[in-house]
Structure 1
Amino acid sequence: MDWKLKGSTQRTESPMLQGQEGGAEDTEADELSESFQLLQIDVACECQERETLPTGGTPWSSKNVQRKQRHWEKIIAARKSKRKQEKERKKANRAENPGVCTQHSKRFLKALTKEKLLEARHSGPRLCIDLSMTDHMSKKEMSRLAGQIRRLYGSNKRADRPFWICLTGFTAASPLYEECLRMNDGFSSYQLDITEEDCFSLFPLESLVYLTPDSEHALEDVDLNKVYVLGGLVDESIQKKVTFQKAQEHSVKTARLPIQEYMVRRPNGKNYHSEILAINQVFDILSTYFDTHNWPKALKKGVSPGKGYVLQSPDE
C-alpha cells in the first residue's frame, strides 16, 4: 500500500524520540529571568528621578524605587517557594503512584505526534485533497479553504489513528498556497505530501474513491487499500456534480457519506437540508468512523445542526 508519490515531498525523517527536556530547572530560570527583567524595567523608569549626594557623589534611589524593589523581591521569593512545593508534591505523588505516567514536555509530545503522523504514511489510511479546481475561486473562498485545511490537519494531529494526507494539484506559486502560508502558522512544515500532480496520475485509478454527495453509493467502510479523495471546494463556489463528473471522466469509483442511511431531515423554517460539507467536516466523520467503526457517532460529530439533519431515533 506504500505507493511512491511522484513529485511529492516528505517533510522530515522520523525523529528519535527524546526524553523529557526543558525540565523544571530551565522553567524556573526562565521565570526568574522574566521577573528580574520586569524589575529592571520598573527601576529604569525611576532612573531619571535619581539624585546625587553633594558630598561623595554616590547615586541614591528614591523611596518609590526601593519600595518596588522590596515588592518584587517578595514576589520572586513567593514564586520560588511555590515551585519548590509543587516539585515536592509531584515527587510524593510519583512515589505513591509509580504506575502513573508522568507529564511529558511539549517537545516530547511534539516529537511523538510527528512520529505518529510519519508512521501513517506507511500504514495509515490515505486522504487526498484535490486542489485542481481553485482557479476560479475568489480570495474569500481561498481563505475559507485555507482555514478548512488548517482545521483538517489539526484534527489529524489529535487523532489516535491519523490519516496520511496528500494535497494534489497544488502549486507553490498559486494564490491558495500563499493564503495557506499567510493563515496557517507552520504550514511549510506540515507533515503531509504536496504535489502539483493530480490525484488521477499520482495513484492507481482502481485505488481511488472520490467522495461526493452526488454519488449513488453510500460509503460502508474505510479501506486501508483505498485512497479517499475530497474536492477542494467551498460553499460559495460549489457547482452541482463537479466532483462527480470529474470522477466519471477518469472512471473512478465514487461514494457519499451515509447521511441518508443514518439521519433524517429535521423540519426548519427555511426548509433547508444539505449534504454538502466542508472538507474538515468530512474528515472528522471519516476519522471518527475509522477509530470507532460507528457511523451514527461519526456523523453526529461532522454534520452540524445547520445542515438540517439529525440522527434517526431507535424506533425509526
Structure 2
Amino acid sequence: MSALISLFFRFFRRFKIDSQKACTSNGGERVFFNDLTVSKYKALIKSEEDRRLVESVLIDYEKVLQMTGEVTSTLTENQMVKAMSCSTFKSRKRFFRLQFEKEIKELSNERRKELRALRLNKNYSANTLQPSVGIKFDEKTGTPVYGLWKNSLFIRLPNKTLNASFKFKFFNSTFFGQNLVFDLSYEHLMKEHEYKCICLELNQVYHINKHLKNPYNLWFCNYKCGSSMHSLIKFLHPNIDESFINFHEDSYLKFFPKQNLVYLTPDASTPLMTYDHDAVYIVGAFADTVYQKGVSLSKAEKDGIKLARLPINEYCPLYGTKNVLTVPQMMLILKTAKETSSDWREAFKYIPKRRIKKEEINTRNYETSEEGDDCENSDLCNKASV
C-alpha cells in the first residue's frame, strides 16, 4: 500500500512539473541551457581536488540533463558549492531536481505576471464590449459620457462597508427599535430534526431583520447555553455574538413589564386586529410540524401575560384546524403589519397559497380586479373631464 502511495505522489509531482514546463515554454520550444565549463568556476578552484570535484559535478549535470532534463538552465557559484558538497550521484540528482523545480516556479510566476500586465494594459475597443479604464468624454461637447462600458454614477460597495451599515442599524435598534422576543423554552418537546429546523428558521429571522429599514431589537429568551440548539446556532452563525441579538437564559418576565407583553399563539381566542408599536410581542420557537395544541397557551397563562392570535380566520381562512406558521413567516407578517399600519391582507401574502382556501383566493382576485376597474373608470372620467 505504501508503495502505491509513493508511486502516486511521484506521478503527481511529475505531472505538476510537466504542467509548469508547459507554462514557461514558448510554443513547445525547449528551455535554453548555457554551456558550462570548468573555467567558469575558477574562483572556486584552489587545488587539484577542487578541480576534480567541479568536473565531476559538471559530468553529473550533463548526465541528469540527458536522462530527465530536470536541471537548471545554468549553475551559479553558490549552487556549484552545494553540489560539490554532495558526495554521491543520487544526492546530486536530487539537488538538481530541487533547483530545477524552484527555477520552473519562478519562471511560471514571471510569465503569469506578464500575462496579467498585458490584460490590464490592453486597450479594449467598444466593439468587443470590454470596459476601458479612465473617464470618457464626448469629442464634440467635451462632457463625460454615461452608458454601458462608459462612465457610471454608481460605485461598488464592498462587504465591509455593507456590514458596517448593518451594524449601525442594529446599534440604533437596540435603543430605538421595537422589541421582539422569541421563546426558546420548547427544546425538550422537540426531536433532533425538529430543533434543527427551528435553528435554521432563527437564522433566517436574523437575515430578514438585517435587511429591514427599521429592524427589530431581537431577544432570544430561555436560551440554554451548552444545549444542542446553542451549539447548532453557533455552527450556523459563528459570529452570532456580534450580531446585536440579546441572548438570555432567563425568562422575558425579567426584562419587560407584564402589561407590555403579548404572547402570539394560534390557540388564543382574541385576534390581534391592530398592531401595537409599543407592545413586546413574543413568538414561540416551536416547529410547526410537531405543534402540540395548548402548550404555548398554558405557558402564557401561567406567566400571566396577554394572549393574542393573528387574525387569519377573519382575513385569510386556511385549510385545516391548525393556523400554525413558521417563525420566518411570523417575522415577515409582523414587519408588514408594522409598516402598513395593520393591513393584514397585505401581511398575509407571505402565507403559501396552497394553504389558503380557494374561495378566499377568488375573493382576493375579484377585489383586485374591482380596484383595477375603479382605477380605469376614474382615469376615463378624468380624461372625459379634460
TM-score by length of 2: 0.59
The answer as to whether partners of 2:23 and 2:108 remain within 8 angstroms in 1 is no
Question: Which of 214, 222, 230 is equivalent to 2:283?
Answer: 230
The answer as to whether partners of 2:197 and 2:287 remain within 8 angstroms in 1 is yes
The answer as to whether partners of 1:275 and 1:307 remain within 8 angstroms in 2 is no
| Greater share of strand | 1
The answer as to whether partners of 2:174 and 2:244 remain within 8 angstroms in 1 is no
- 1:68-83 aligned within 5 A: 73-74=114-115, 76-79=117-120, 81=122
Partner of 1:7: none
Question: Which of 335, 339, 348 is equivalent to 1:287?
Answer: 335
CA root-mean-square deviation: 3.8
CA distance in 2 between partners of 1:195 and 1:142 (Å): 18
Moved more, 256-265 or 303-312: 303-312
Say whether 1:176 aligns with 2:229: yes
72 and 277 in structure 1: CA distance in 2 versus 1, 3 angstrom threshold: same
CA distance in 2 between partners of 1:134 and 1:155 (Å): 23
Rg: which structure is higher?
2
Question: Which of 320, 341, 345 is equivalent to 1:296?
Answer: 345
Aligned residue pairs: how many? Answer: 265
172 and 187 in structure 1: CA distance in 2 versus 1, 3 angstrom threshold: same
Q: Secondary structure at the match of 2:180?
A: strand
In structure 1, give the amino acid aligned to 2:276: D
Question: Which of 67, 78, 88 is equivalent to 2:135?
Answer: 88
- 1:150-299 aligned within 5 A: 150-265=203-318, 272=320, 274-293=322-341, 294-299=343-348
Partner of 1:313: 364
* Deviations, residues 202-257 of structure 1 (Å, cap 9, x unaligned): 31111100001111122123323211001111024311011111111122111111
Give 1:43 shift.
Answer: 3.5
Give 1:143 shift.
Answer: 0.9
CA distance in 1 between partners of 2:169 and 2:315 (Å): 32
CA distance in 2 between partners of 1:84 and 1:299 (Å): 45
CA distance in 1 between partners of 2:294 and 2:21 (Å): 67
The answer as to whether partners of 1:147 and 1:184 remain within 8 angstroms in 2 is no
77 and 230 in structure 1: CA distance in 2 versus 1, 3 angstrom threshold: same
In structure 1, give the amino acid aligned to 2:364: S
93 and 113 in structure 1: CA distance in 2 versus 1, 3 angstrom threshold: farther
Question: Which of 193, 198, 219 is equivalent to 1:145?
Answer: 198
180 and 77 in structure 1: CA distance in 2 versus 1, 3 angstrom threshold: same
CA distance in 2 between partners of 1:220 and 1:103 (Å): 43
Q: Secondary structure at the match of 1:166?
A: strand
CA distance in 2 between partners of 1:261 and 1:210 (Å): 19
Q: Report sequence identity in percent.
A: 22
Say which structure, 1 or 2, has more relative contact order (CA 8 Å, 6+ apart): 1
Partner of 2:14: none
Say whether 1:43 aligns with 2:2: no
CA distance in 2 between partners of 1:41 and 1:158 (Å): 51
Give 1:183 shift.
Answer: 2.3
The answer as to whether partners of 1:274 and 1:307 remain within 8 angstroms in 2 is no
- 1:107-118 aligned within 5 A: 107-118=160-171
Give 1:304 shift.
Answer: 1.6
Give 1:71 shift.
Answer: 7.8
Give 1:198 shift.
Answer: 1.0
Moved more, 249-258 or 82-91: 82-91
CA distance in 2 between partners of 1:41 and 1:191 (Å): 53
The answer as to whether partners of 1:273 and 1:307 remain within 8 angstroms in 2 is no
| Greater share of helix | 2
In structure 2, give the amino acid aligned to 1:313: R
315 and 163 in structure 1: CA distance in 2 versus 1, 3 angstrom threshold: same
In structure 2, give the amino acid aligned to 1:233: F
261 and 272 in structure 1: CA distance in 2 versus 1, 3 angstrom threshold: closer
In structure 2, give the amino acid aligned to 1:292: T
In structure 1, give the amino acid aligned to 2:208: S
CA distance in 1 between partners of 2:170 and 2:256 (Å): 20
185 and 133 in structure 1: CA distance in 2 versus 1, 3 angstrom threshold: same
Could you list the runs of 5+ residues in structure 1 that have no partner in the other structure?
1-39, 95-99, 266-270
Q: Secondary structure at the match of 1:264?
A: coil
In structure 2, give the amino acid aligned to 1:225: D
CA distance in 2 between partners of 1:291 and 1:86 (Å): 44
In structure 1, give the amino acid aligned to 2:340: T
Q: Secondary structure at the match of 2:300?
A: helix
